[in-house]
Structure formats: structure tokens, C-alpha cells
Structure 1
Amino acid sequence: MSRIYLETLINADIQTVFDLARNIDVHQESTSKTHEKAIAGRTSGLIEEHETVTWRAKHLGVYQTLTTKIISMDKPNQFTDEMQQGAFKSLHHQHIFKKAEGKTLMIDIFDFESPLGIIGKAFNKLFLKNYLKKFLLNRNELIKTTAELNNNNNNNNNNKRTTN
């Protein structure tokens, strides 16, 4: 089993970050390089507990599908998705959100296992773990940028109201 652990500090409120992280449309935007598209289950908007989404994307030159299910959710503190069907032997992704001095700390704990025994373990170590880490970092950067832009716009609007 391989694990990727990421922390992203975002200058926005926890509810905004939580909703962006579970937004299918935001995810599709962050994965445009792999042409990732939600094709079944929840295909747009905010995914909820017990819902599934099936993704179709081009990874490593091959189109693949992956179905995940939200197996737990505690708004706005955490949600966990788990692979139901796909190329991995297993995939479990915890999304954790914590208030941190007026900001939000978004934590990803991404556990995965490739099929093919020792060959899969070698592939994970040599390539896949770094590939997936970059994939998650790209997604997190879009969430951070979008949340902080929304936060700045809201602050500017509040400032205009108080000065008028």
C-alpha cells in the first residue's frame, strides 16, 4: 500500500474549501490535461455521502474508467471516497478540513495499491506515486486559487458596503 499525504493552507473559510473539494465541475477543470470527465453517477455539482461518480480519463496514454463512492461525510470537516471499480487494486482518499487561524487547512490522505503484485509495487515506487502526487497537487492548487479568489471578492464586496 502506498500513501500520499498533502497539506494545503487556504485563505478561505472551511465551508467554501469543503464544497470546492467535492465539486465535480471543479475536479473536471483541474484534470483537463487528462481529459477527465464524469460519465455516470453524480456528473456535476456537489457530491454527497453514499453517491458515486464514474470518471473517464486518459492516463499514461490509455483511457481508463474509475468509479468511486463517498463512504463517509461530516460536513464541513471531512469526506472519504473509495474506489468501487477501476484499475487499482484499492484506492481510499480521505479529505480532511480544519480551521486554522482564519484559514482552512486541507489535508489529503491518499492510499492506493496497484494490481500485479511485485511489478505493481515497483511501478508505484518508480513512477505512479509521483504521478498521482502531481495530479493531486494540481487539483489542490485550483481549489486554493478559486477559494482565495472568492474570499477576496467577498471581502471587497463587504468593504464596498461598509464605505457606501
Structure 2
Amino acid sequence: MTSIHLITRIKAPVQDVFDAARNIDLHQNSAYQTHEKAIAGKTSGWIELGETVTFKGKHFGIYLTHTSKIIKMEKPHFFVDKMIEGKFKSFKHLHFFEEKEGVTIMTDILEYETPFGFFGKLFDRLLLKNHLEKFLLERNQILKENTEI
């Protein structure tokens, strides 16, 4: 299993950052480089506990779909989305939010496993982990730009 751990500091109230992180429209705007679009389930607005969203996007030159479900949520401090259909063997994204002195500390922990044994692990080490980390960093920058006071 691979894990990516990112911390982003945003000068905004925790509720604003929490809401931005689960906003489907903002996610689509932040994923412009992969042309991601919500095509099923919740396709606009804030995703809530128990809801699903299916995104279609272009990664490594191929259009892929990925369906996630919000399996845990404690507003405005925590939520988890988990892949229920897609190309990964497993995929879970934990989102944590803590406000300190007017700054929200947003922590992303992305845990995933690739299929295809040795070849999947090699692909992950050579390309996939960097691709996903860059994707999250760009997403977090858009969240920051859209929520900072």
C-alpha cells in the first residue's frame, strides 16, 4: 500500500475549508489538467455522508472513471472518501481539518494499492505516486485560493 501525506495551511475558517474540500464544482475546477467531470451520483455542490460521486478524467492519456463514497464525516473536522469502483485495488482519502489562530491546517492522507502485482508497484514507483501527489497539490492550491481571506 502507498500513502501520500500532505499538509496545507489556509488562512480561512475551518468550516469554509471543510466545505470547499467537499465541493464537487470546486473539485472539477481544480482538476482542469485531467478534464475531470462528475458524471454520476452527486454531480454538483457539497457531497455529504453516504453519497457517491463518479468522476471521469484523463490520466496518462486514458479516460478513466472513479466512483467514491463518503464513508465517514464529522463536520467540520474530518471526512473519508473510499473508492467503490475504479482501477485501483483499493483507494481511500482521509481529510482532516483543524483551525489554530485563524489558520486551518488541512491534512490529506491518501492510501491506495495498485493492481497487477509487480507491474502495478513498478508503475506506482515510477509514475503514479508523483502524479497523484501533484494532482493533490494543485487541488489544494485551488482550495486555498478560493477560501483564503
User: Could you tell me the TM-score, scaled by structure 1's length?
Assistant: 0.90
Residue 102 of structure 1 and its aligned partner are, at CA, apart by 1.3
Q: Is 1:25 the counterpart of 2:25 in the alignment?
A: yes
* SS of equivalent to 1:55: strand
Residue number in structure 2 paired with 1:141: 141
1:79-158 equivalences in 2 (<5 Å)? 79-148=79-148, 151=149
Distance in 2, Cα, partners of 1:103 & 1:34 = 30
Deviates more, 1:93-102 or 1:10-19: 93-102
Structure with the higher helix share, 1 or 2: 1
Runs of 4+ with >3 A deviation: none
Distance in 2, Cα, partners of 1:144 & 1:27 = 12
Residue number in structure 2 paired with 1:159: none
Q: How many residues align?
A: 149
* SS of equivalent to 1:109: strand
CA RMSD of aligned residues (A): 0.5
Residue 119 of structure 1 and its aligned partner are, at CA, apart by 0.7
* SS of equivalent to 2:127: helix
Residue number in structure 2 paired with 1:64: 64
- Letter aligned with residue 112 of structure 2: F
Residue 88 of structure 1 and its aligned partner are, at CA, apart by 0.5
- Post-superposition CA distance 1:115-163 (Å, at most 9, x none): 0011101111111000000000000000001101xx2xxxxxxxxxxxx
Unaligned runs of 5+ in 1: 152-164
- Post-superposition CA distance 1:20-72 (Å, at most 9, x none): 00000000000011110000000000000000000000110000000000000
Residue 101 of structure 1 and its aligned partner are, at CA, apart by 1.6
Residue number in structure 2 paired with 1:16: 16
Residue 4 of structure 1 and its aligned partner are, at CA, apart by 0.2
Computing the radius of gyration over CA atoms, which structure comes out larger, 1 or 2? 1
Residue number in structure 2 paired with 1:40: 40
User: Could you tell me the TM-score, scaled by structure 2's length?
Assistant: 0.99
Residue 6 of structure 1 and its aligned partner are, at CA, apart by 0.1
- Letter aligned with residue 109 of structure 2: I
* SS of equivalent to 1:48: coil
Distance in 2, Cα, partners of 1:55 & 1:102 = 33
